[in-house]
Amino acid sequence: MPKIAVYPGSFDPATYGHLDIIKRSLEIFDKVIVAVIRHPHKEPLFTLQERVKMLKVATKDLKNVKVDSFEGLLVNYVKSQKTNIIIRGLRAISDFEYELQMVLMNRRLNNSIETIFLMPEEHYSYLSSSLVKEIVFSGGKASKFVPPVVEEALHRKFSVDKSGRSW
């Protein structure tokens, strides 16, 4: 049986930090499913289709990666993929409380699901999708932080949408 892991998230947008976690996961698992959430309440900067498309382009050279989307409970999606493993990246102590809450809640929802945390390369430990959006929105370059497909999309998005909303 191949070992499959689900790496869920908003990926709004995907950064090199996310790609680092995907590559580390591939060292451990036979297949990694990157699962992009369709947020019912939050309005992301990028549509679900845009987030999925950018991840597909960014991971096109990686074998054994599938980019998918989901809605509803994560534990149900994980089960539907015939696995019980969730991967999450942990950057700093500040991530810990939220992540612990999710692990324990997911465990209450389905006791057979396990979450594995991977730490990204330390120079990605301060990187977040929100900061990248702020940088590009404020006129900066994000090429050190996101793959080219994402940087182009950010510049395109902000050149047509200078709405000034905050992330």
Residues of this chain that interact with ligand PNS (CB under 6 A) are 8-10, 37, 73-74, 102, 105-106
CB 73 within 8 A of CB 39: no
- Least distance between ligand PNS and beta carbon 105 (Å): 4
Q: Which is nearer to ligand PNS, 8 or 147 (CB)?
A: 8
Residue 144 annotated in active site:
no
Residue 42 annotated in active site:
yes
Residue 53 annotated in active site:
no
CB 36 within 8 A of CB 65: no
- Least distance between ligand PNS and beta carbon 34 (Å): 11
152-to-13, 19, 84, 96, 140 alpha-carbon distances in Å: 11, 17, 35, 32, 13
Q: Which residue in 25, 51, 129, 133 is the catalytic one?
A: 129
CB 113 within 8 A of CB 75: yes
Helix 48-58 with 148-160: angle, nearest 10 deg: 150
Q: Which DSSP helix (H) or strand (E) runs through 5? A: strand 4-9
Q: Which is nearer to ligand PNS, 10 or 64 (CB)?
A: 10
Residue 133 annotated in active site:
no
Q: Which residue in 3, 38, 41, 42 is the catalytic one?
A: 42
Q: Which is nearer to ligand PNS, 104 or 141 (CB)?
A: 104
Report which residue's Cβ sits closest to ligand PNS.
Answer: 9
